Amino acid sequence: MRPPSRAPLNAPVLVATRRAEVHPSGAELAAAIGISRARLARLVRLGLVEPDAPGSSVFTAVAVGRLRRMLRLHGDLGVDLTGAAIIVDLVERLERLEAERACWRGGPPGPVEGHREL
């Protein structure tokens, strides 16, 4: 099943306030993403998406964003979900490295040479 929206892969999924981060339940997450609760449970069992804490049924905004990116890669490019999880991990690593590089150089994060945003 395709995700319902065509937002960019790095678009925020849930807006968190400064006071508290939103932590949707599994049912709320499945509804927001457009997948069944059974499919979400399967992705959790496979370790492709992780709840806030082991055995928990709530998810962080970061997990929601990761899942949305994975489903977008799966739906748009036909990447299997395990491959999509690996791609998302690598993109997140690149983003962290870009931020670290910017800190060392004393400027805002910029794109890594030869790297394009998904």
Return the CATH number at 57: 1.10.1660.10
Dist. CA 95–CA 99, nearest whole Å = 6
Range of the domain at 76: 26-105
Is 36 within the bounds of a domain? yes
Q: Which two tokens stand for residue 67?
A: 């899942």
Is 41 within the bounds of a domain? yes
CB 59 within 8 A of CB 26: yes
Percentage above 70 pLDDT, the chain? 72
Is 85 within the bounds of a domain? yes
Per-residue pLDDT at 106: 81
Q: Which two tokens stand for residue 112?
A: 């890594």
Is 1 within the bounds of a domain? no
Per the confidence metrics, is the pTM higher than 0.85?
no
> 53 pLDDT band (50/70/90 cuts)?
confident
> 10 pLDDT band (50/70/90 cuts)?
low
Task: Say yes or no to pLDDT of 91 above 80.
Answer: yes
Domains held by the chain: number: 1
> 15 pLDDT band (50/70/90 cuts)?
very low
